[in-house]
């Protein structure tokens, strides 16, 4: 406020001095050139110069204003181009999230062509094209993204592999991921997608070979990795036996199964889940004696209910000794229904009908199990107790899948 007063005061003084100067002498200005001649007082000439300067300043201001306002009106101005790109980005992302694939592809492709960092928009447009079944367009968009941002090769390849999986091209996805594994051998996301693909394809030998890298690079949580490793080796044992049976005669599949078993580490060969898978494959391929020895040896180290249940399905070289061995486990585990089922089965093999009945009924008292129902039903049928046998067969059938009995039977249509 004080500053304003000072300025006004200064202007008044300057005006007074100018008026005093004008009153003392008007001055004279003459400009002559060829036939042109201009004469005026000094103060009039100065006023003219000030007026010309004001006119020039006003013209420049009007030109700037018109230029700026034309950017708002002109659809091809830089400002409007930027606004159109932003609108395309927002619409494309919204369309992609809500599944409007054609619109999403159009908007995101437009945004990608205009933006200096187009990766995310190309990836979104490629996904939208793939969802429409336009696989060639999708691949072309990814190639274009690679041309624009070659440093994003890994990100583009991972998205390409996922799109290939979504369209059912597991071979293409496998080729893509294996190529990325060679170029980026320790990338967690490559390894994570690769192990998931091996599981989907049932390619357990490849997953087994991948396990050291998964463990070294901490791709999965420790517990999940341990479970995956058990399953991979278990499935690999089954697959080895199956492929061996296709390629060999004689004891079909056993050499291949034995080779796969020996490939396991010493610690792995003591895992109950792997022992169970190995013994089960031995039994399926007729090597019951070897399976019984494997199970008995494993149970000496550590009792396992699943191994005990399988022990009743194999026939060892000495049935009496096998029964005696299983009865020895009963002293420490009298409440294990699986072990009682195994004892019932071993008694059936030795024609010990009374003991078999006691063990099977004991198993059913602890757990209503379809296997125990079926074994006891067979025994009772042999002993002439037909009604009780039929009841147990029906109960066992229901226990196999209780969902079978969840709905009423359809009405009987009479002709």
How far is CA 253 from each of CA 147, 236, 260, 275, 287, rounded to the nearest angstrom? 51, 13, 11, 17, 11
Q: Which residue has the tokens 């278990």?
A: 234
Q: Read off the tokens for 74.
A: 């002109």
Local confidence pLDDT in tens for the 415 residues of the chain: 667 677 777 777 877 776 666 666 667 777 777 777 777 777 677 777 888 888 888 888 777 766 655 444 455 455 567 888 889 899 999 999 999 999 999 999 999 998 889 999 999 999 999 999 999 999 999 999 999 999 999 999 999 999 999 999 999 999 999 999 999 999 999 999 999 999 999 888 888 889 889 989 888 898 898 888 888 888 888 887 776 655 554 444 578 888 888 888 888 888 888 899 899 989 988 889 999 999 999 999 999 999 999 999 999 999 999 999 999 999 999 999 999 999 999 999 999 999 999 999 999 999 998 999 999 999 999 999 999 999 999 988 888 765 455 555 455 444 4
For helices 288-301 and 272-284, angle between their N-to-C axes, nearest 10 degrees? 160
Q: What is the pTM of this model?
A: 0.59
Residue pair 130/146 in contact by the 8 Å Cβ criterion? no
With b for 16 or more beta-carbon neighbours within 10 A and e for fewer, the 119-149 pattern comes to bbbbbbbbbbbbbeebbebbbebbebbbebb
Q: Please name which of 380, 377, 369, 302 lies closest in space to residue 340, comparing C-alpha atoms.
A: 369
């Amino acid at each position: 406020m004080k500053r304003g007063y000072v300025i006004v005061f200064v202007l008044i003084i300057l005006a007074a001095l100018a008026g005093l100067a004008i009153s003392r002498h008007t001055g004279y200005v003459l400009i002559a050139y060829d036939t042109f001649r201009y004469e005026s007082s000094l103060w009039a000439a100065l006023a003219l110069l000030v007026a010309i300067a004001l006119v020039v300043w006003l013209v420049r201001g009007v030109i700037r204003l018109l230029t700026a306002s034309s950017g708002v009106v002109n659809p091809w101005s830089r400002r409007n181009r930027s606004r159109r790109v932003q609108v395309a980005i927002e619409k494309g992302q919204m369309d992609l999230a809500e599944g409007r694939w054609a619109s999403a592809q159009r908007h995101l492709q437009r945004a990608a062509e205009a933006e200096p960092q187009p990766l995310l928009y190309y990836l979104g447009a490629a996904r939208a094209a793939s969802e429409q079944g336009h696989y060639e367009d999708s691949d072309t968009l990814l190639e274009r993204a690679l041309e624009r941002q070659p440093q994003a090769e890994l990100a583009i390849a991972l998205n390409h592999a996922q799109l290939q999986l979504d369209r059912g091209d597991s071979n293409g996805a496998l080729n893509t991921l294996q190529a990325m594994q060679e170029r980026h051998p320790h990338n967690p996301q490559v390894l994570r997608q690769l192990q998931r693909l091996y599981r989907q394809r049932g390619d357990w030998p490849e997953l087994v070979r991948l396990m050291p890298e998964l463990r070294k690079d901490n791709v999965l949580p420790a517990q999940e990795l341990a479970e995956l490793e058990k399953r991979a080796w278990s499935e690999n044992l089954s697959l080895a036996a199956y492929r061996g049976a296709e390629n060999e005669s004689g004891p079909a599949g056993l050499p291949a199964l034995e080779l796969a078993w020996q490939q396991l580490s010493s610690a792995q060969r003591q895992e109950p889940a792997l022992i169970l898978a190995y013994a089960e494959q031995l039994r399926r391929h007729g090597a019951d004696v070897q399976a019984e020895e494997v199970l008995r040896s494993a149970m000496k180290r550590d009792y396992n209910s699943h191994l005990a249940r399988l022990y009743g399905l194999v026939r060892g070289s000495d049935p009496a000794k096998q029964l005696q061995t299983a009865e020895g486990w009963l002293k420490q585990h009298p409440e294990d229904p699986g072990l009682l089922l195994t004892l019932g089965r071993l008694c059936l093999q030795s024609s010990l009908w009374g003991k078999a009945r006691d063990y099977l009924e004991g198993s059913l008292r602890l757990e209503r199990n379809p296997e125990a129902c079926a074994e006891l039903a067979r025994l009772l049928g042999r002993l002439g107790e037909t009604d009780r046998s039929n009841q147990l067969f029906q109960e066992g059938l229901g226990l196999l899948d209780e969902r079978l009995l969840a709905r009423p039977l359809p009405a009987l249509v009479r002709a």
